[in-house]
Each structure stands twice: as C-alpha cells, then as structure tokens.
A and B are shown apart, each in its own frame.
Chain A
Amino acid sequence: NAGVTQTPKFQVLKTGQSMTLQCAQDMNHNSMYWYRQDPGMGLRLIYYSASEGTTDKGEVPNGYNVSRLNKREFSLRLESAAPSQTSVYFCASSELRGGTQYFGPGTRLLVL
C-alpha cells in the first residue's frame, strides 16, 4: 500500500501560469481533502470531497478548483497562479467524512 501519493513533488511556476496537482489514494477511502501549509499558520483546508461525485469549499478556496475524478483521485487546479499561492500543498484522505485523515508527502509550489 502506497497510501496517499502526490505529484509533482516540486514545481516552479510563473505568475499567470496554470497547473494541476494530482493526488491518489489506494486505501479505498471515501473522503479526500486538499490543504495548504504556510509558515506559522498550520494547515488550512482548501477544498474537500466527502464522497465520490461531491466537492465543497474549505477555508481558503479562492483561486483554486478541484475535481474528484473517481474514488481514488482528487486533483487541485490553479487556473492563474499568483505569488500568494506559493505554499506546500497536502492531500489527505479518510475512510469516511469525520474519520482519521492520512496525509500525502506534499507538493512544494513556488510562484514567481
């Protein structure tokens, strides 16, 4: 079991470019989440998907979109990257909404 995997591990973008962060889990979990981590602010929820076919906004959704492609995969898209989106992005999954969340290794994104 790989658990939660994320690609890429590291990415540099120029302002205005777009990109998609990929996340996949092999634990047959129903719920998946995207967080961003900034120094001194802990992790903040961007979007989550309680179950396949549903998505909902978290605390900081502006500038992001998500797609729950199937039960395994949950992608995060930046349509027009801004320097304020420089951060470390973590994907997580849980068996059910409200259950223990398991985290991927993260994607470090630098927007110039």
Chain B
Amino acid sequence: AQSVTQPDIHITVSEGASLELRCNYSYGATPYLFWYVQSPGQGLQLLLKYFSGDTLVQGIKGFEAEFKRSQSSFNLRKPSVHWSDAAEYFCAVSPNAGGTSYGKLTFGQGTILTVHP
C-alpha cells in the first residue's frame, strides 16, 4: 500500500526566508504527486502537481517542487516566504495506473508553517 511521510510537523521561518517542506512516499512505481495548502478553517487548495515529464514543477503563489525518483521525494520550496503563506501544507500521492487504488489520494500528516515578521 502507498504511504506518504511529512517528517516535519511544524516549521517556523522568518518572512523573506527560503522554505523547504519535505515529503517522502512509498509506492512501487512513480505515482502522481500533489501538494495542497489549507488555511485555517478552509478547504484544501491545489498548489502544484506532478504527473510526468520535467521533474521540477512550478505552482501557484511562487511555489515549486522537485520530484526525485532515487529518493522517493517530492519536496516543496519557495525562495522567499510571505506572511500570507502561513498555513498547513499537505503532500499527497495517487497511483498512476489502473487497479483498485487508482484515483485514491493518500495524504501525509501535514506540516504547519508559521511565519514570523
């Protein structure tokens, strides 16, 4: 069964600093990969996704993520964090082929980002 690990439960950065949120997955093949963001009391918004092709993926709000097959990782990065980026971030994976698990998203536990002024 697929699984997703976000090793950092809570990260604090200063506004303007760079950010990297870690995501590791366990799956037999290359899955579809996603990052979602959730502001307090809100639903989830898609930041970016990787299906195939270029391993560096650009998303909304200045975020990017890099897929590294050898490390089974899909880390999220932003060069300069803004106070409005404070939220909870979720990495998710989905199988990329048919079968009973196809289309089912498996989420990591989430990383809460706090931004200090």
Which residues does A use to contact B, with CB under 8 Å? 4, 31, 33, 35, 40-45, 48, 50, 58-59, 90, 92, 94, 97-106
Q: Let me know if B34 and A100 touch, CB within 8 A.
A: yes
Within the complex, what minimum Cβ distance (angstroms) separates A14 from chain B? 24
Q: A45-B104, A58-B104 are in contact. Are A100 and B44 (CB under 8 A)?
A: no
Q: A40-B9, A42-B90, A43-B90 are in contact. Are A101 and B42 (CB under 8 A)?
A: no
In whole angstroms, what is the CA distance A35 to B92 when docked?
A: 13
- Across the interface, which residues of B come within 8 angstroms of A104, CB to CB? 43
In whole angstroms, what is the CA distance A106 to B49 when docked?
A: 22
- Across the interface, which residues of B come within 8 angstroms of A45, CB to CB? 104-106
In whole angstroms, what is the CA distance A59 to B104 when docked?
A: 9
B46 sits at the interface (CB 8 A): yes
